[in-house]
Amino acid sequence: MFLTVRELKKSFGGIHALQGVSFKLDAAEIKCIIGPNGCGKSTLFNILTGVLAPDSGTAHLDGTQISGLPAHRVSRLGIGRKFQVPGVLSDLTVMEHMEIALAARDTDGLLLRTLGWRGGRAAILKQLETAGLTDYAGQIASQLPHGIKQRLEILMLVARGARLLLLDEPTAGMTAAETQATIDLIRRINKETGMAILVIEHDMAFVRNLSCPLIVMMRGQVIREGSYDEVRADPQVRAAYLGDHHA
Ligand code: ADP
Ligand code: MG
């Protein structure tokens, strides 16, 4: 099993944010985590990225325990996280941001020595094409439209060589067209790189269109796993989360 999460618990004072969360993710698998505000989704990602240590329970990536490790070590093991809000992109071009991400992956210089600088550029251009960003290669990243920034950040994580992508509400604030482009990008990255991907998402249209197994969280627990249709038909999920207006 690629990612194994066992009985994670985390409290903040009297708030039991996680009350024994367990699930698994295969290599090259995509799963979507849904659940109401405050149910512990971001806390889970904070533990998986080493931002927080759990009170108890474990998380293993490819056999290595990652829970309790500091964030820089988890990042080096290949977990890349995309936050809900775009990070600060600088006044460098899209191409230059990608070059920096590629160089960051390549701490021993082996990749760029093998590929050469032109090879590195070609690899980046191919990734930009995958994301529909070719036309933006020469543009200043800080001035890009919101949806394009979000996609660039995902691509930078790929260029850095992540093996597991954690995306926290990647389509927040996007138009329907941008949301669909992000779904296409997630699928293509998964298919072309075999990267495993966990997505937290609120937008049920996104969840339906991504069409992957779902993990439903409520009050710090996983209450259901299954396909979109299975989850939607579950009375407990309907009552607790979806509500009849989503039916
Ligand atoms: P979600 O991402 O599902 O909306 P969170 O994981 O952000 O939920 O939060 C779960 C609960 O834990 C909430 O009640 C939240 O207020 C609380 N919480 C999260 N992080 C902290 C923190 N660093 N300090 C105190 N309380 C926190
Ligand atoms: Mg959150």
Q: What is the pLDDT of residue 103?
A: 82
Q: Which CATH class is domain 3-89+161-246?
A: alpha beta
Q: How many residues does the chain have?
A: 247
Residue nearest to atom 22 of ligand 1 (CA): 12
Report residues whose beta carbon is within 6 angstroms of any ligand 1 atom.
12, 15, 17, 35, 37-43
Tokens encoding 187: 């699928």
Q: Please report, as a single letter, which amino acid is at residue 77.
A: L
Q: Which residues make Cβ contacts (< 8 Å) with residue 205, sequence separation at least 6?
A: 176, 179
- Which ligand 1 atom is the nearest neighbour of the CA of 43? 6
Question: What pTM did the predictor assign?
Answer: 0.90
Ligand nearest to the CA of 12: 1
Ligand 1 center–CA 88 separation, angstroms: 23
Q: What is the mean pLDDT of residues 63-89?
A: 88
Q: What is the pLDDT of residue 146?
A: 86
- Which ligand 1 atom is the nearest neighbour of the CA of 44? 6
d(CA 58, CA 47): 9
Q: What is the pLDDT of residue 243?
A: 53
- Which ligand 1 atom is the nearest neighbour of the CA of 45? 6
Averaged pLDDT of the chain: 89
Is residue 41 helix, strand or coil?
helix
Q: What are phi and psi of 16, to 5 degrees?
A: -90, 85
Ligand 2 center–CA 120 separation, angstroms: 35
State which H helix or E strand residue 17 sits in.
strand 15-25
Ligand 2 center–CA 52 separation, angstroms: 14
Ligand nearest to the CA of 169: 2
- Which ligand 1 atom is the nearest neighbour of the CA of 36? 3
Q: Which of 10, 12, 34, 168 is the pocket-test mutation for ligand 1 (most atoms within 8 Å of CB)?
A: 12
Q: What is the pLDDT of residues 13-43, one digit of tens each?
A: 999 999 999 999 999 999 999 998 999 999 9
> For residue 246, what pLDDT band results from cuts at 50, 70 and 90?
very low
